Chain A
Amino acid sequence: MASKIGREPMLDMFIFETLQQLEELEQIVISSEKTNGLTESAISEIFRIMHTIKGSSAMMLFNNITSLSHSIEDLFYFIRNDKPQNLDNSELADKVLESVDFIKVEMNKISNDEDVDGDAMSLIEDIKMFLAQLKKDNPAVKIQDEIQIIKKETSQKYYITQSKIQPLVEKNTFKAIILYQSGCEMENIRAFTLIHNLKELTDEIWYNPSDIIDNDSSVDIIKRDGFRVLFKCEKTVREMNSFFEQIPFIEKLELEEVSYEDEIDQFLEKRKIVLEDSIFNIEKAEKNKDSATERDIQIGSTGQSIISVNISKLDKLMDLVGELVISEAMVTQNPDLRNLVLDNFQKSARQLKKITTELQDVVMSIRMVPISTTFLKMNRIVRDMSKRLDKEVKLQLIGEETEVDKNIIDHISDPLMHLIRNSIDHGLESTTKRVASGKSETGVITLEAKNAGGDVLIQVKDDGAGLDREKILKIARSKGLFNKPEKELTDKEVYSFIFLPGFSTNDKVTEFSGRGVGMDVVVKNIQNVGGSVSIDSTPNVGTTITLKIPLTLAIIDGMTIRVGKSRYTIPITNIRESIKVEENSVIKDPNGNEMVFIKEQCYPILRLHRHFKVNTNITDITKGIIIKVEVDDKALCIFADELVGEQLVVVKALPKYIKKIKGVEGCTLMGDGGISLILDIPGFLNNQ
């Protein structure tokens, strides 16, 4: 999801971090489902993630997200502390995942500047009821094993410590009534802090309400009547005023010197028994953990090996490195230097090129991320589909460590999801059918990623029923989709029909697929990043869909060619060979199109000077150069004047004020400042 220019960085960070945490959360839940139960650390992690999301969303005022995450937090707080029995893990997982989905939808709205207006109330009610039921089934264990310390209310004040001798100084008595600013929260704790600080000046303190630690309703009393303190110390009123001035969040202070006898009755309440058990327990727990602390610090010191960087900074870096590459070429290949013998200069130039190339490699590698994050997302799809369609499905991941440009990852996630949904919905047969044909009950979807030359190959394989050639032919026939005589269509070509818009062999439309708007969108998305999609299948064995995606969009290895005064660049990955041809290898087909024989195969010729209407002296087929290019199984021969040379070029999109040119996918700056148009080879081949 792109970061909009000018959007508050905090919002970006909120979105980035929250989405990351939601992914993590999903993974924890799904893998816990498989192992039949949440481990203690999984529960803690879920609690912590929801707690964090609650906090962040509250800061950003997205209250529906806050309330929802709060209810999950409460639920897991209970699960963590009370360890209830008979926990329905499946229902629990469903609740968490539903919440994840809700928040994801809201996050999407936030990303798109839409109103964050989702209503989580019914989901929250559901969760609360689930928790209430849990509590009912697991009545709280009475705190018998917790030691209760009973402390008398007025044990403070008149005592002589062992270290101090009570000074015989005249003490003043002060009464203070403090009202806190509204919205500062936890007024009782703030009051406690005040007393804690006051204790540094004197031990003779009385206050009302006195049960500020344990009684949360003291917050309301303090809000309503103020926090009242009576104390004795040898400071002056002015000194005490400055003391209070350093206490945050005080809205109003009434401080006056009084007589102890007059006021003390207000402050002494009936003796109360104060339970300090909660604080005691923390201390007890602390003692157990203290020994682990040193070790913890060791772990901490090796923590930070990863930092998150804003994508726009990386984009800028890549742009600059691209420009650097071009500038380096402009210097080292400068026409002014032609024909000069410059040994020392050449040596330095080579060093410069070496470093520039290395820099470029490093920068490109920074943008590479392992495809594992995208693959892991598919777990959720498989889980949901398998549950809903009642099919046992296993997802196998191979090659998740394969790295892909960050830009591209964003574009393949949706297509992959669709392909997997399709495979489960249509590819995999029902459990009964599988067993009947001798297959295992559990269908297997394999997601594999691997490097192949300048591309990444991603395959989605299923061991299902395979594609029905006849069925596809029938529909293609009825829609008149053939561009070749039916008999000449290879299996692969027949299967590829399913990528055409509106094509669907499904008789019924399910909520997941069948509308025929999925596959063609997948193909379009992949082609948008410069890739291609192909499909193969064996009846009863399964279907394999292969996505071929270039490693990076921005810099390609290209062969520059010249036609007249113009230059064009062909991506090296498309080039198979380049040759000069003889008169007798060129023929014309029945339609008058030129064809050339290379190694007993016949290829159509594309004369660039004709296609782009460029003037050139070289029109004789034997005087120019033929470059054979290929994409998948289609090939073509391009006729140009001459080869200029191979180089890395930075692909720049055509400026927006130029309409799309057929056959051109971008442009690049040459070393001498001129422009070369980058040819769109797949585009040429598709139009044949």
Chain B
Amino acid sequence: MPYIPLDVNLPGITGILNYRPETALPIRQLTHILLRGDSSLTQGERELIATIVSYGNECKFCTAAHTAAADLLLGEKETADVVKRDLLNAPVSAKMKALLIIARAVQVSGKNVSSEMTSTAKSEGATDLEIHDTVLIAALFSLYNRLVDGLASVTPTDSAFYERLANILVDKGYLPSENRYAGLKA
């Protein structure tokens, strides 16, 4: 049971953002810029950053949702799975691997990002902007994971729910809209 009254039709983050729209709006805007805005990283690559951080924070809701979004954007389910379980052997570019190592460090603490990690990323072609956005996306998901679990929101157990949510995240992005969650109910 959530610690505050949330709409029962809106599990996980969805009901929490719905509860306090004034604080939800800037969080959504930030997320949309970072995950769907113009970037030299693909949307699928950016969802992998969200996924690895959520996995590290053991947030089931966020991990499932962003894994599903990554799978949809990448067109396959193997990459997100290996990124979580065995990053060093994941089928991603060397640059992306270096950025995901940075993201995984940020999940624990900002101070865990070493200059070796960022030098490696740069030697694999990462730009300052890509490093900046990787750190900020990882930091943002450190926010989301705590919000989702800190208020004890409901985590659905059927995978079909996360596929419906992923379709919304991929088709509509992260900004609020009328009937945003119309497709969420089975």
**B and A form one assembly:** no
